[in-house]
Copies of this chain bind each other. A is one copy, B any other.
Amino acid sequence: MSTTFSYQKLFDFSRTIFIKIGCPEADAATAAKALLSADLRGVDSHGVARLSGYIRLWEVQRVNAAPAIRVVHETPSTAVVDGDRGLGLVVAPFAMQVAIDKAKQAGTGWVSVRNSNHFGIAGYHAMMALQHDMIGIAMTNASALVAPTFAKERMLGTNPIAVTIPAGAEPAFVADFATTTAANGKLEILQRKNQDAPEGWVLTKEGEPSTNANEIKNGGMLLPLGGDKEHGSHKGYALGAVVDIFSAILSGASYGPWVPPFPAYIPMPVNMPGEGLGHFFGAMRIDAFRTAGEFKDHMDNWIKRFRSAKTIAGQERVIIPGDPEREMETERMQHGIPLLQPVIDDLQSLADKFGVVL
């Protein structure tokens, strides 16, 4: 059961809540826009369903609502940003803008971020580059849920990577994916439906293969993209590791099993080797390589050729990364965003707490 809300209504509500906890007005709008982009694009696990989670982090003083986000080190094409414990939803757009500004001058810009919190969906931040005719890259580490190949211990987060690439007449290429076989949100969908997970998604607490969609709640682990060694899980593990290192060891954030958890009720790791979560952003100006016109013509050609590839039985078309999310955004911007009753109840609690009308 779900009820549909307009984008504008959920945006206004989220923005108001962020203002209520003390975010400056501009930051509140930035955060609400980043948060809602997940709902628009169909990544329901990362949108308003998490609003109360962000607020709880503020309540336990792990989120600073009015941070002094600043560049602490830079070269012509790089910077390190300290997020001052701000919402990742605010810190990430700041840092991505630094990457874009660097790219305007130096051809590319690369920004590693420490002392931040969860930033919503990676794709939103990477997409900021598109309007500047730049390729955008965004990644983040996250609290440990994933067992590296051969391990039975939570060592890495789902550590997503987003890469956005401008095209011409065709829509942009927008890849945004967790470096695990399946994101945690996919398991939550199966849990609600009382269904099993496919093999290769999770391990039990003891490190045995499992198809129980509730395994994470039992102390189990997610598996890196590939699932097991025979199917290349060492590659998914390496990708997740690269995200962790670029996001946290370049910047001075915490990493690996020491990344701060999103749920505010879970205690912080002891002996954290760095400050907060880490992110990494990149922007590459297309015309730092060739003219944007030539590049876009070839991207259109690439996209059309891939879209028209012959399909396996039962499939109508080959998908270009970003297709489903873009179609969802058009649909939801027009017809609204459906929310499940538990999410609505959660938002109503926030409304009551802060004296706001949902």
Subset of 26 A-B contacts with CB under 8 Å: A75-B288, A76-B76, A76-B105, A77-B106, A78-B108, A78-B288, A107-B110, A110-B288, A150-B315, A150-B317, A150-B318, A151-B309, A151-B310, A153-B309, A155-B318, A175-B242, A180-B232, A225-B236, A239-B239, A244-B302, A250-B286, A250-B295, A255-B298, A255-B302, A256-B302, A273-B301
Known: A110-B108, A148-B318. A249 touches B295 (CB 8 A): yes
The contact string, 1 if C-beta is below 8 Å from chain B, for chain A 145-174, is 001111111010000000101000000010
Residues of B within 8 Å of A150, CB to CB, are 311-312, 315, 317-319
In the bound complex, how far is the Cα of B179 from the Cα of A116, in angstroms? 31
Q: Which of B80, B284, B295, B313 contacts A78 (CB 8 A)?
A: B284
Q: Is the Cβ of B107 less than 8 Å from the Cβ of A76?
A: yes
Q: Is the Cβ of A77 less than 8 Å from the Cβ of B288?
A: yes
Interface centre among A108, A151, A256, A289 (most CB of B within 10 A): A289
Q: Is the Cβ of A305 less than 8 Å from the Cβ of B231?
A: no
Q: Is the Cβ of A245 less than 8 Å from the Cβ of B165?
A: yes
Residues of B within 8 Å of A177, CB to CB, are 232, 234-235, 238
Q: Is the Cβ of A110 less than 8 Å from the Cβ of B306?
A: no
Residues of B within 8 Å of A135, CB to CB, are 246
Q: Is the Cβ of B238 less than 8 Å from the Cβ of A80?
A: no
Q: Which of B244, B245, B284 contacts A110 (CB 8 A)?
A: B284
Question: What is the interface residue range for chain A against chain B?
Answer: 35 or more
Residues of B within 8 Å of A249, CB to CB, are 295, 298-299, 302
Residues of B within 8 Å of A148, CB to CB, are 306, 309, 318
Q: Is the Cβ of A153 less than 8 Å from the Cβ of B80?
A: no
Residues of B within 8 Å of A299, CB to CB, are 245, 249
Q: Which residue of B lies closest to A112 (CB)?
A: B289
A182 CB–B CB distance under 8 Å: yes
In the bound complex, how far is the Cα of B181 from the Cα of A180, in angstroms? 14
The contact string, 1 if C-beta is below 8 Å from chain B, for chain A 96-135, is 0000000001111010100000000000000000000001
In the bound complex, how far is the Cα of B239 from the Cα of A177, in angstroms? 10
Q: Which of B110, B153, B312 contacts A151 (CB 8 A)?
A: B312
Residues of B within 8 Å of A244, CB to CB, are 302
Residues of B within 8 Å of A295, CB to CB, are 249-250
A185 shortest CB reach to chain B, Å: 13
In the bound complex, how far is the Cα of B246 from the Cα of A173, in angstroms? 12
Q: Which residue of B lies closest to A105 (CB)?
A: B76
In the bound complex, how far is the Cα of B152 from the Cα of A225, in angstroms? 22
Given contacts A75-B108, A148-B309, A181-B232, 5 further A-B contacts (CB under 8 A): A73-B290, A76-B107, A78-B108, A80-B289, A151-B310
Residues of B within 8 Å of A311, CB to CB, are 150-152, 207
